[in-house]
A and B are shown apart, each in its own frame.
Chain A
Amino acid sequence: MNIPGKTEKVANDKLREMQCEFNPLSRCDGSVMYCQGATVVISAVLGPIEVKTQNLSIDGSYLECNYRPKAGLPQVKERIREAAVRDVLELALLSEAYPRSKMSLQIQELEDRGSIDACALNSACLAMLIGGLPLKCSFAAVHCIINDQGEYVLDPDQRETVHQRASFTFAFDSLEGNLLLVQTKGSFKIAEFNDVESLCRSASAEIFRFYRNNIANYHCRRPEGQKTSEDNMET
């Protein structure tokens, strides 16, 4: 995968270019390297796997989520991000499909050049899709800021966030576009909040299209053919 070293300025109302590579890691059940502009993360999922007795639940699977920063150990900031990803995943995961098991998600930040929360969430969703974990719906997260001139900047690069007045991260589900996550920081009016929300909502459609196209490409590498019974070896 070519990771752009330098990113050109993208229009304020456009998402930065998204790219992904499926299964870069060999030992997990599904992994994805996902980049949005120059922000890059790798997500890996395992599941369903054996669960510790203390976390065992008889009516659903236990979800574990780990976020690793680029360097050093996870601190409070990373824990908050981890909790946000877990909250969204808990809403999207069909946990009753595999009771008494664990779904494990690892997110490794490779480069943070803005919108890392949204990027982590989107990569988590792609990893879940590719790992074949049961989901109620897919989801997409979008980051947006209001800069000091009062302009809305969708999916900003890090240098654009230096002079921000407010920042927003929204996550939407794929079914009815319901809000799964709202994170806001800074000062803004309710009208601005509503504007940004509808801006992000329309941008999320592009992310869902990106998911679908990439999944389709991944499956089309192997053209379809009739599959027969899995169990035809005579014993």
Chain B
Amino acid sequence: MDSGSAIVMPGERITSIEEVAKEKRVILGPGLRRLDDTVVASKAGPLRHKEPNTFWIDNYQRRYVPARGDLVLGIIKGKAGDLYRVDIGSADIASIPYLAFEAATKKNRPDLNPGDIIYARVLNASADIEPELVCVNSNGKRGKLGLLADGFFFKCTLNLGRLLLRENCPALAALTRELAYEIAIGVNGRIWVKANSLRETMALSNAILTLEQAGYTEIDKICDSLGDVLQA
């Protein structure tokens, strides 16, 4: 991935993408936009490319912008009619209907209170309407979504969330070798963890936060010493 090292600045025209676009369709991710027949950057950072045709600009952003299908952690803020208002860290407060929980009916409402944490999927995300969440999949089953009881909740950068969520992340495997735990990671930069004891939970959250400054390649090295962080 040699294109990874090129830093682009806002307003820069990216001809390498235009070249590819002549032959096939390309997908422009965050930080790139089409201006007439040119591709222009709108953020600063390294240009990334994923085969075959996806491009985006990597940026250590802290503000979450909802996208359909994202898994997020949200905090219940209150009730409004037949909706719960949920804070997912985006510009607008998200909403989740009572009926978007497993086995919920008009009579049998889920019991959620302000301050509760839920793991949900973004159903609708558009610039013009507030995001809508669901806690069931298309078969009406909750899977791993829903209320997260007990445990410990903390915020991190969006990057750390994505880093942990990628396939076979070595960090989580390294932690599994040390102790048993439950974890829920949102791409909105929020993490919930639960281990057998309070002490273990705190150690776990500290261990995860040490990864914050790490790169993908450094992670392997750090993972070996994560056990030490847990002991501390």
Q: Which residues of B contact A219 (CB under 8 A)?
A: 7, 45-46, 58, 60
Q: Find the A residue at minimum CB distance from B68.
A: A231
Mask, A218-230, CB within 8 Å of B = 1, is 1101111111111
Whether A225 contacts B43 by the Cβ 8 Å rule is no
- Report the nearest A residue to B48, measured CB to CB: A227
Contacts of A226 in B (CB 8 A): 1, 50, 216
What residue in chain A is nearest B69 (Cβ atoms)? A231
Interface pair A174/B70, CB less than 8 Å apart: no
Q: In whole angstroms, how far apart are the Cα atoms of A224 and B7 in the complex?
A: 12
Q: Bound complex: CA of A100 vs CA of B130, how far in Å? A: 10
Q: What is the bound-complex CA distance between A23 and B9, given in angstroms?
A: 19
Q: How many A residues, CB 8 Å from partner?
A: 52
Q: Take A135-B11, A223-B216, A225-B215 as given contacts and tell me if A49 and B42 are in contact as well, using a CB distance cutoff of 8 Å.
A: no
B191 within 8 A of A: no
A-B pairs under 8 A by CB, number = 152
State whether the Cβ of B109 lies closer than 8 Å to any Cβ in chain A: no
CA distance A138 to B8 in the complex (A): 11
Binds A, one of B162-170, B193-201, B202-210: B162-170
Q: Is the CB of A222 within 8 A of B213?
A: yes
Are A175 and B215 within 8 A (Cβ)? no
A212 to B45, CA, bound (A): 9
Asked if A232 and B167 sit within 8 Å, CB to CB, the answer is yes
**Is B11's CB under 8 angstroms from A136's CB?**
yes
Report if A232-B11 is in contact (Cβ < 8 Å); known contacts: A218-B60, A219-B58, A223-B216.
no
Distance between Cα atoms of A230 and B185 in the complex (Å): 11
Chain A residues positioned under 8 Å from B145 (CB to CB): 235
Question: Is B60 touching A100 in the complex (CB atoms < 8 A)?
Answer: no
Evaluate contact between B48 and A134: CB separation under 8 angstroms: no
Which of A48, A100, A137, A225 sits near B10, CB closer than 8 Å?
Answer: A137
Q: Are A98 and B91 in contact (CB under 8 A)?
A: yes
Partner of A138, one of B44, B143, B144: B44
Scan residues 30-69 of chain B and give those whose CB is less than 8 A from a CB of chain A: 31, 33, 42-46, 48, 50, 58-63, 65, 69
Closest 9 CB pairs of A and B: A225-B216, A137-B11, A132-B61, A222-B215, A235-B143, A135-B10, A224-B4, A48-B91, A129-B44
Residues of A whose CB lies within 8 Å of any CB of B are: 28-30, 46-50, 58, 92, 94, 97-102, 129-138, 173-175, 208, 211-212, 215-216, 218-219, 221-235
Please name 8 further chain A to chain B contacts, defined as beta carbons within 8 Å, in addition to the given A49-B91, A102-B91, sorted by A numbering. A100-B128, A131-B61, A132-B43, A136-B11, A211-B44, A227-B50, A230-B166, A233-B71
